[in-house]
Amino acid sequence: MDPQGIAVTKLVELDDPKTTRDDDEVTIFAVHSGACEIVYNIGLLKLARYGRKGNGVGEFLYPRGIWVDPDGNIYIADTGNNRIVHLLYQNGKLIWKRVIEKDFNQPKQVALDSEGNIYVTDTENNRVVVLNNEGEVKFIWQRDLYKPDGIAVIDKDASYNKNRDDYVVIIDNNNKRIQQFSRYGRLLRRITYKDMGLDDAYFAYCAIDYYGNIWVTDSRNHMVHKFDDQLHHIISVGREGTGDYEFYSPRGIAIWRRFGQVFITEKEGGQYYWIGVDGYIVGCFPDPMPSKGPGTTIAIYLTETAWVTIKIFDEEDNLIRKLPAHIEKAGEALIVWDGRDEYGEFVPPGRYKIKASIKTTYSFSRRYFKKELEYTLKVE
């Protein structure tokens, strides 16, 4: 087995516009490179396969990356054949549409923006080729690239793009580096495995979520790394194994941004997650807090943008203050408590429990993810 890229969408063809109950019933298209075929799961209910080894119609040679849109257009980096293949899912079956050949040499991955422009990592040519939706070259990037591999694109007009992010993420340098570019090839920022404190890494595939956070699989360390839209590291999850939050050489990753559904291929299979939220209270500053003001700043670390509600309890577990709920971005959130109770009076000396409730801001309505955090603050 050799699972590689994976793509996910809600197909218009399968959507019932009269109800929202089926809105999370997405369709997955994945590359089984070793078998030179595409494996797809329609509405998470029906598994099918397409393709065989070769270089003709309906044939692939060790394909890698894949991308799909809601209208059923599928683009595949047919790596061994040095081409991009365009398929169409229509009326319950896959249709071979066309082949795009532009002197590629080992094209590894492919992604599209909302305008239909096609971005191809042309690995052995050390470049990214951007094509229009007719397959004609618009421009080529070569600067600041070495053996580009993984790619993900988000643009300001893309669906389910909360912050109107507009950039391209590329994994390169023998899969040791993650770079962020403008959609026109200007380098914005980069990070390497050494910057993250890792001894080694093999960054394989990448994806972008609703808030513009960047997710990268790491086959070497059996992890998934998450970064914000400025490429600041947020969290790394996973270890080698077959249990919960364990991976065995993760490869492809795809996110259905509307609800935060995450699909990951591994060396011998795949996993399915929903984006949740985790975090901890870093501390209060100052701690101890003076009883006569001016208050304290509560620092919370979040792994995802979340609703944050703070409640303050005294030693008898009586609620003395509830702070207004805030939406805070992933990373460190700073929330000020002025040291007063619900009646506007400064609280007396003692120990106070700070309880923080953190909850994801988007998900399917029946599946909100919530966690409770607690910290004890001394007032003197």
The pair of three-digit structure tokens given for residue 199, joined into one six-digit string: 């001894």
Last residue of a domain, one of 274, 292, 319: 274
Distances (CA, A) of 269 to 1, 44, 229, 241, 263: 8, 15, 29, 13, 11
Tell me the C-alpha distance between 281 and 275, whole Å. 20
Count, residues in the chain: 380
Q: Is 33 in a helix, a strand, or coil?
A: helix
Domain edge (last residue) among 256, 274, 292: 274
Q: What total of structural domains would you count in the chain? A: 2
**Domain extent for 159:** 3-274
| Domain match, 46 and 107 both | yes
Query: What integer pLDDT is reported at residue 158 of this predicted model?
Result: 97
Same domain, 235 and 329: no
Cα dihedral value 183, 189, 195, 201, nearest 10: 10
Let me know: does 79 contact 108? Beta carbons within 8 Å: yes
- pLDDT per residue rounded down to tens, the chain (380 residues): 799 999 999 999 988 888 888 888 899 999 999 999 999 998 888 899 999 999 999 999 999 999 999 999 999 999 999 999 999 999 889 999 999 999 999 999 999 999 999 999 999 999 999 999 999 999 999 999 999 999 999 999 999 999 999 999 999 999 999 999 999 999 999 999 999 999 999 999 999 999 999 999 999 999 999 999 999 999 999 999 988 889 999 999 999 999 999 999 999 889 999 998 999 999 999 999 999 889 999 999 999 999 999 999 999 999 999 999 989 999 999 999 999 999 999 999 999 999 999 999 987 545 567 899 999 999 99
Whether 51 and 165 map to the same domain: the answer is yes
Q: How far is CA 120 from CA 12, 24, 108, 130, 312, in A?
A: 25, 29, 8, 6, 52
Are the C-beta atoms of residues 357 and 309 closer than 8 Å to each other?
Answer: yes
Of the candidates 211, 240, 236, the one whose C-alpha atom is nearest the C-alpha of residue 224 is: 236
Give pLDDT, residue 16: 87
- Whole-angstrom Cα distance, residue 32 to residue 72? 19
Structure tokens belonging to residue 105: 């040499």
